[in-house]
Amino acid sequence: MHLITGSCVLFLWIRALTSEKIADCTLDQFVKGPLYDSNFDTTDLEASYPAGKQLRVSCNIGFSGFFKLLCVEGEWHPRGTKCQARSCGHPGDAQFAEFHLEKGEDFVFGSQVAYTCHKGYQMVSRTNYRRCMAGGWDGVVPVCEAQQCPVIHVSNNVQVVGDPEEASYGNVVQFSCKSSSEVLIGSQEVYCNEFGEWSGEAPKCKAINCLVPVIENGYVPGNIQEYKEHEILHFVCDWGFKPTQGRPSKCTKLGIRAEWSPTPDCELIKCKLSIPRLEGTRYEPANRNVFSVGDTIRVRCGERYWISDPRQTSAQTTCKDDGEWTVEPVCKEVTCINRRDSRVNRWSVYWGQRLTQGVTVSYTCYPGYKRTNDATTATCTRDGWSPDPLCEEITCDRREIQNTVIVNHKDKYHHNEKANYVCNNGYKGSFHLNCRENGWNGYSQCTVKSCEKHDISNAYILRNEKKSYRHHERVQYACRTGDERRFTVVCDRGVWTGIQSCTDCPRAEVPHGFAVGPYGGKLYYTCHDGYKLATKGWWGEATCIGTVWSGLDLCIANSSCGRVPLIPNSKMISLHNYGEGKSVQITCQGGYTAQVDRFTCMEGNWDTNGLSLDSICTPTVGHCSPPPKVVNAIVVTVYQSEYLSGSEVTYQCRYNYTMEGQATIKCDDGNWQQRNITCTPPTLEQ
């Protein structure tokens, strides 16, 4: 190989010697030629080189390569690779930062990378870049630290969750009030932002107060600017508007805030119709469902429906300023109540059954009632059940019978109630009629009154002696005593009147007491110690009538109360003496009400609960004084100082006088009926 190389050189030298001279290659030619770039270091090169010369071109600092030039016939021929920038490799990652090429296109000599801290972090290194030098990357990787926020100061009544003193970017601090009676004014939480600043101010806790709100289309009257918890906000909506909510707004703690609940708002007043239309309901106009205040529509109902009243099938209604209709624009189906009437015994309706117009049901009535108009079924109509009422009470009108007086006198009598009759005007007997479903049932049974012969002790009949006597017949008696006293007795409605005694009264016996007399036909008596008279006073007086001492009362123990005192307008007739602790039921006559239920005997006196006897039985309605007097007539009932409302009395003319007008008058709430009652004397023919 060395032999071949030497031969070539020798050949070239010989050829050069034998030919014309060959041109040199110059440095200027290289620098200005296409082979040159700024990466070459030419400081050590000569100005020119002869043909055949080969030389190595060095690289500038920061570049590397192996490049040679060969001078051939005055031209440079390259050998090897040009100079290229040295690589520094990866510049290094920085925590919480990013980097980018600020100079150059790769991590090679001459390039520069700049570092940028992440959001919320700040650069703490003196430089934020690195350069690729001949010896590698200069400096160190920059350092980024999180932004720090200043200390937060809060009041003692604020609860803090988080670190308000050493917070860095991204840290959150939450606040709340320690007291449930306070609310947070400000943000519930703040966070440390990328600039090292808090996102908001520290909040405060204050008593629950609500400020007067701004209400669109409404206002709050008065000068109050703040309201306490639970206070009601009274606001007014502008004309044509109404509160959105149907309940008042109250200052309320909602979460951590004091708010008005519900929110006080005003909405435009509108009246609406149901869509789709309700069954049985039609509207005029038919193409709208929202109406303004003052608008009017007509509602028409189907055959089996009603509006406003079961009898109405059409109504006009107007939208009011409160958003409601003057008449609810809804047709309702005609129905009848499912509940059974109290007088109906059985009917063919099950519990919960819906009964509409036209439905019929069968039914029966309780005893004492009958089906109205002899109906067999009840029909549901717009007016309710027909017939109405379903059952009517069985009653009988008063029946007047000649020569009788009705004891329980009234205008109407109930089913199975009896009308009790007593015969009068020279007739005797009594009977009753019974009110049945088909009217009165029974017969009158009056017979002429008579008096049987009456035997009077120590007397005999002087005139008209017989076994039986008619009404008004007279009998004359004479005493068998020394004075032969005479007297006449009269048969008056089966009872002898005018009877006198022809004997003296027996010796009076007074148990637990004694008597003196008689003096002038009077006997006087009193009781021993420990006893008292059943009547008032400490002594009493008795009169001999016939052979009986009248007015001779009993002596009772001091601890007893005796007979119950006479109570005006009561039904009580006391025939017994009552001892200590005994009580008696108070019963008043019809038309009167008892103010106390019972009398009790206490320590020898009747306890009346502090009431006077006259005030125990009080009238339910106004009573009448005795009926007015009619000339030549008399009332054929027992005299009373007052009469119940509804009572009736009948006048009877004296013998042979003729009654003109109605003989009966009625007490009506304190006043007698006005009747023109007269008794006409007999004529000469009579």
Domains, in order of start, for the chain: 25-85 (2.10.70.10), 97-146 (2.10.70.10), 158-207 (2.10.70.10), 209-268 (2.10.70.10), 270-333 (2.10.70.10), 344-393 (2.10.70.10), 396-448 (2.10.70.10), 451-497 (2.10.70), 513-557 (no CATH), 623-678 (2.10.70.10)
Q: Could you tell me the end-to-end alpha-carbon distance of the chain, in angstroms, rounded to an integer?
A: 205
| Joined tokens for residue 112 | 């520069």
Q: What single letter denotes the amino acid at residue 17?
A: L
Contact between residue 412 and residue 395 where contact means Cβ atoms under 8 Å apart: yes
| Joined tokens for residue 509 | 């016996």
Give long-range contacts, CB 8 A cutoff, 24+ apart: 92-98. 92/130, 92/137, 92/141, 93/141, 94/141, 94/142, 94/143, 94/144, 95/143, 95/144, 96/121, 96/144, 96/145, 96/146, 97/121, 97/123, 97/142, 97/144
In angstroms, the Cα distances linking 539 to 316, 525, 554, 646 are 87, 6, 11, 43
Nearest-angstrom CA–CA distance, 83 and 66: 7
The per-residue pLDDT for 10 is 44
- Encode burial over 318-341: b for 16+ CB neighbours within 10 A, e otherwise: ebeeebebebebbbbebbbeeeeb
Q: Report CA 161 to chain centroid distance, whole Å.
A: 46
Nearest-angstrom CA–CA distance, 589 and 568: 9
Q: What are phi and psi of 7, to 5 degrees?
A: -65, -40
Three-state SS for 586?
Answer: coil
Give me the residues of the chain with pLDDT under 50, please: 1-19, 686
Q: What are phi and psi of 156, to 5 degrees?
A: -65, -20
Write the DSSP string, 532-581. Answer: EESSSSSEEEEEEETTEEET-PPEEETT--BSPPP-TTB-----S-B-TT
The per-residue pLDDT for 533 is 84
Compute the residue count for the chain: 686
Nearest-angstrom CA–CA distance, 652 and 411: 21
Nearest-angstrom CA–CA distance, 36 and 82: 9
Render pLDDT for 207-234 as a digit per residue (tens, 0 to 9): 888 889 999 999 999 898 889 888 899 9
Nearest to 297 by CA among 271, 278, 277: 271
Nearest-angstrom CA–CA distance, 64 and 108: 11
Cis geometry, peptide bond prior to residue 367 (ω within 30 degrees of 0): no
Residue written as tokens 């005796």?
562
Q: What single letter denotes the amino acid at residue 479?
A: C
